[in-house]
Structure 1
Amino acid sequence: MFQIAETLEKKGDTVYTSASYTKPRGEIFPNTFYRIGGPIGKLEHIVLAKVTGYHGCYSHFATYKLIQKIKEVNPDIIHLHNIHGWYLNWKMLFQYLKTSGKPIVWTLHDCWSFTGHCPHFMAINCEKWKNGCFKCPLYKLYPGCFIDDSKKQYTIKKRYFTGIPNMVIVTPSQWLANLANQSYLNKYRTVVINNGIDLGKFKFVLSEFRGKYKLNNKIILLGVAFDWGPRKGINEFKRLAKELPKEFAIVLVGVSETVAKELPERIIPIACTQSQEELAEIYSAADLFINPTLEDNFPTVNLEALACGTPVITYQTGGSSESITKECGRVVPYKDYEALKKTIIEMKNAKKNMEAACQKRAQLYCREDAYQKYVTLYEEIIKNEKC
């Protein structure tokens, strides 16, 4: 959000950004940033949503103030990203958007906008969202509730999220665009704008990583995530640690202390790092990047690995495979662990021959190009509004 805003500001535009109340990680928010709500209001929203099942239907005062801020700014265009997470009353927001007369762009980062509850459903192969959710097997998971809220939430979402006269849906992957076009959002125009990465920071770099962890004679398999669990493929890595020959070493980045305690000794856990330079060193040191994710949209970790010259092996999951070609990695059938293991062994020495192709492929995902596509979309929409 901030980076898209910076792209516009370089053109001389004024951009207002807004998100829920969060503690900055050292960054300084610009004067044009508006924080939505606060920690007390968010806690209240969480408790009420879990008890009643009405996730996203509280935070009335915070949402009212946000709407007043939007009216004060009077923007040419309104761009939404994730609106779930117990900080916003999306019923109030969309009621305003329907009558605001403003063109809307909504970037979907998951499937939440057209389901009755869940952000992802691929792992359980659920298709209820196509006609109406009910008896949700995931209702206890994020955004978790004590009761199954899926049927009523689906009905409410469909009522509020449809019928906006001037909204464009953006998805980072073709996979998600295809799903949106099968949902009740199918009346809207859908545009695919892939995620981008900073190619100035993600590139092949030499480091002491192998020596530091005594991996000089090992084939390093790398996994990177920030919420390690079954959905991100932690179980596959545990099996690989038991079954692969000793010449392989597994490194996982983004591992919490709790998850680290559950890992086999053979897996080297590294805590979450905020340093892109440090992450680039780890990507560069790896021989293969393994992404056995079971639910994903268009993971930037694949792009980061490619930019550092490291081939990617991923399941045929969501949009994870869309950035991978046979010249820079392999895509194996969804949940086919044996195929994953076989492919890893076959490709253990592939980096030397694929490094240049990986880096070339990554050039397609320069973040500046992605943000410029948003700017072009904004300009097109505003021009059409004036006609």
Structure 2
Amino acid sequence: MLSADKEAGGSIMKVLLINSDCGYGSTGRICVDLYKLIVESGNDACIAYGRDCTDESVKNIRIGGKLDVYAHVIKTRLLDLQGFGSKRATIKFINQCKAYNPDIIHLHNIHGSYINIDLLFKYIKEMKLPVIWTLHDCWAFTGHCAYYTYVGCSKWKDCCYDCIQRNLYPASIFRDNSKKNYIFKKELFNGIENLKITTVSNWLKFEVMQSYLNKYDVQVIPNGIDLDIFKPTESDFRQKFDLENKTIILGVASIWHDRKGLWLFNELADRLDNFYKIVLVGITEKQKNNLSSNILVIQRTNDLMELAEIYTAADLFLNPSIEETFGMVSLEALACGTPVISNKYSANPELINEQCGIIVEDITTQLYIDAIQKFKTESIDILECVKKAQQYNKNSCYKKYLELYEGC
């Protein structure tokens, strides 16, 4: 068992976490948090990653290198074969796996052009290791995409073909291989003797149960948040940008896509009066050139304390994305005492109730304006926002994984 008495000679559980990143981005931070929790429990962990690592304090294995990633990306671009490159890197990694000799493999994002899923799953089936697979998006049960709500596609329920998102992540320029990918992934991902799937929301669990993965046990374990960082935090943000007398409407994304609703902020900036100021975090220089001059743009920051200061300074947080498998940015805003306006699509409603925000029924500028103006007459208690976020304390959430490990 994971909690075996080490002094009495109990065995130490070894958990190998596999993700595209280590410490970088939301899934990378989740893996590092899990790693630390496993080690604190008196056991051993290692993070295998293929792209970026921002925390060298953890035991880790790099799967391949930059050239391997570039070659995998090219294979995806030309042949629509995301997940089927990186053969040499994966063979080397599997040998490293055998040397580490894990008791449990915990998969996270296995797309991202760094690992060969054919070789990986053949190794898993051969070794008959217990596997936990945490799904953060929908890529595991489609023939191409990681998200499909924005385009209203449901082909994945039967079999993907003629992919209408071929040119989006993981983008393929020339070829649509979605049908073959779907069939191969279905065969590859099924038939594992001891696989448990976790999803980060009830919405995503519902989707999985309609897919070819529905034969597996599926449990919801939501993402956790570091409440020591994301909390009401004083700063000079308003003074720094001369916003003392403004109602700040904030939007945050690590990468702004159309599905994140960037167009909405542009329209709001042109329609709302000078009483409001829109602030967007994570905008690139190229995107900035296409935005209204009424929007204050802040480039992406990896400084979480700075991000907490910005969340706290805002009066309202808008998350117009319709493809949120969890909605981490909404949760971070709530933890900092800022109410959230979002929509009814995907997992958004799971984090927001009438005590801490508003859910609009559709993605229209007018509905969001109505919701924004509603806050003029109906205030929301900051403490209610924080209270909602406290339900997702990362230590409480991730201890559920320890229980899963113990049951393997």
Which of 211, 220, 235 lines up with 1:207 in the alignment? 235
Q: Percent identity?
A: 43
Supply the distance in 2 between the matched residues of 1:16 and 1:276 (Cα, whole angstroms).
24
Higher mean displacement: 229-238 or 44-53: 44-53
Aligned to 2:189: 161
Deviation at 1:122, TM superposition (A): 0.1
Equivalent residue, structure 2, for 1:385: none
Give the unaligned 5+ runs of structure 2.
1-30
Deviates more, 1:77-86 or 1:294-303: 294-303
Separation in 2, partners of 1:348, 1:380: 51
1:366 corresponds to 2:393: yes
Aligned: 1:128 with 2:155: yes
RMSD value over aligned CA atoms? 1.3
- Taking the TM superposition and a 5 Å limit, the aligned residue runs for 1:241-252 are 241-252=269-280
Gaps of 5+ in 1: 382-387
Q: In structure 1, how many angstroms separate the alpha carbons of the residues matched to 2:67 and 2:376?
A: 51
The yes-or-no answer on 1:186 pairing with 2:186 is no
Query: Which of 246, 250, 267 matches 1:222?
Result: 250
Q: State the Cα distance separating 1:177 from its structure 2 match.
A: 0.4
Determine whether 1:50 maps to 2:77.
yes
Aligned partner of residue 191 in structure 1, secondary structure:
strand
**How far apart are residue 54 of structure 1 and its match?**
1.9
Q: Which amino acid in structure 2 is aligned with residue 283 of structure 1? A: Y
The aligned runs of 1:54-73 (5 Å cut-off) are 54-73=81-100
Taking the aligned partners of 2:123 and 2:235, their CA distance within structure 1 comes to 52
Out of 110, 113, 130, the position equivalent to 1:103 is: 130
- The question of 1:17 aligning with 2:47 is answered yes
Matched with 1:234 is 262
Q: Relative to structure 1, is the Cα distance of residues 222 and 108 closer, same or farther in structure 2, using a 3 angstrom cutoff?
A: same
**Residue identity opposite 2:297 in structure 1:** P
Q: How many equivalent pairs are there?
A: 377
Confirm or deny that 1:333 pairs with 2:356.
no
Which residue identity is paired with 1:3? D
CA distance in 2, matches of 1:170, 1:292: 25
SS at match of 1:262: coil
Which amino acid in structure 1 is aligned with residue 129 of structure 2?
Answer: K
C-alpha distance in structure 1 between counterparts of 2:132 and 2:72, whole Å: 26
The 1-side partners of 2:75 and 2:331 are apart by 39
Partner Cα separation in structure 2 for residue 376 and residue 301 of structure 1: 27
Is the contact made by 2:268 and 2:365 (CA closer than 8 Å) also made in structure 1?
no
1:81 aligns with one of 108, 114, 117: 108
Deviation at 1:307, TM superposition (A): 0.8
Relative to structure 1, the CA distance from residue 362 to residue 349 in structure 2 (aligned partners, 3 Å threshold; closer, same or farther) is: farther
CA distance in 2, matches of 1:96, 1:371: 27
Q: Deviations over 1:294-350 (max 9, x none)?
A: 211102111111111110000112112211111000111242332222111111465
TM-score by length of 2: 0.90
Provide closer, same or farther for how the CA distance between residues 257 and 350 of structure 1 changes in structure 2, counting only shifts above 3 A: farther
Q: Structure 1 pair 119/94, CA: closer, same or farther in 2 (3 Å)? A: same
- Whether 1:34 and 2:82 are equivalent positions in the alignment is no
* Structure 1 residue ranges, 4+ long, deviating more than 6 angstroms after superposition: none
**Higher helix residue share:** 1
Whole-angstrom CA distance in 1 between matches of 2:263 and 2:103: 47
Which amino acid counterpart does residue 141 of structure 1 have in structure 2?
A: L
Following the alignment from structure 1 to structure 2, what is the Cα–Cα distance between the partners of residues 240 and 135?
35
* Number of the residue aligned with 1:260: 288
State whether residues 219 and 348 of structure 1, in contact with CA within 8 Å, keep that contact through their aligned partners in structure 2.
Answer: no
Q: Assess if the C-alpha contact under 8 Å between 1:288 and 1:348 holds in 2.
A: no
TM superposition shift of 1:290: 0.5
Q: Which residue of 2 aligns with 1:139?
A: 166
